[in-house]
Amino acid sequence: MKSGFGARARAAMDAYGPLCVGIDPHAALIEEWGLPDSVEGLERFAATCVEAFAGHVAFVKPQSAFFERFGAGGVAVLERTIQDLRHTGTLVLLDVKRGDIGSTAAAYAEAYLDEDSPMCADAVTVSPYLGFGSLEPFFETAERNDTGVFVLALTSNPEGPQVQRARQGDTEGTVAGSVLAQLKALNGDRTPMGPFGAVIGATLETLDEDVAFNGPILAPGLGAQGGTADDVARLFGPVADRVLPSTSRGVLKAGPDPAALRDSAAQVNAELVRSLEMYRTSRSPA
């Protein structure tokens, strides 16, 4: 019987460090690797990433869109990639950013979080902007299957604050703050942490919202988007033990050699560990 997702995430982070590596087969990146921009090229790209990262990082995060653009063949490659990674024990966070209502949300949840599905991952990303309650099918399916859900809260794209940091009336907090508060209620006091996380960008200038919601934090934006290990420490220092900084292009540019990819991920991981440790040391009592 599997442990709950929060426990599995904690164990992976303790074993491998905080880094989450994205598999983002951009057309330009496939070309840089000397591969054709086709299903065959995609398959070789994904297989190389599995060889490089499986058993070496805490999480691997395939971006579904870059597989879906090839149609049914690309989706088949995504299924195999997820299965191959999970068979090694590597945790897979599938980046799909789904969000819908009713039976449609339930169908998405079954597709990505139910162990009977060929595309089941360990966790998925979802959007709360049809109302946080619309995500209930994802939470329910995750609870039944010991899988996880990461809810968009404060994203790294420049358009995000218009919605995410909008205030809810004169006395209430931001929309993002409400998302985090509801995640806190769902996670409760589960140990070592709850199964429901938030997506909070590593490129943010400030982080005023309360992120002590007892769940994991996916922090995209490291590397190519400009986020650094020091930014992660500055933003998330007090909750550093729950942060999964994510990079894709920053590591993938080292390909296509699997050993070079693995070394690149190890270097980024070491920088993160060093920056977070320096933060903790600087805040420790003399």
- Which of 2, 61, 97, 253 is catalytic? The answer is 97
Geometric angle at alpha carbon 1, from 137 and 9, rounded to 5°:
65
Answer for the pair 194, 187: CB distance below 8 angstroms, yes or no.
Answer: yes
Distance from C-alpha of 111 to C-alpha of 118, rounded to nearest angstrom: 8
Answer for the pair 92, 86: CB distance below 8 angstroms, yes or no.
Answer: yes
Going by C-alpha positions, the residue among 137, 122, 124, 153 that lies closest to residue 7 is 122
| b/e map 152-166, b = 16+ CB within 10 Å | bbbbbeeebeeebbe
Q: Concatenate the DSSP letters of all residues of 196-239 into one string.
A: EEEEE-TT-S---S---SSS-EEEE-BSTTSB-HHHHHHHHGGG
97 is a catalytic site residue = yes
Catalytic residue numbers read 97
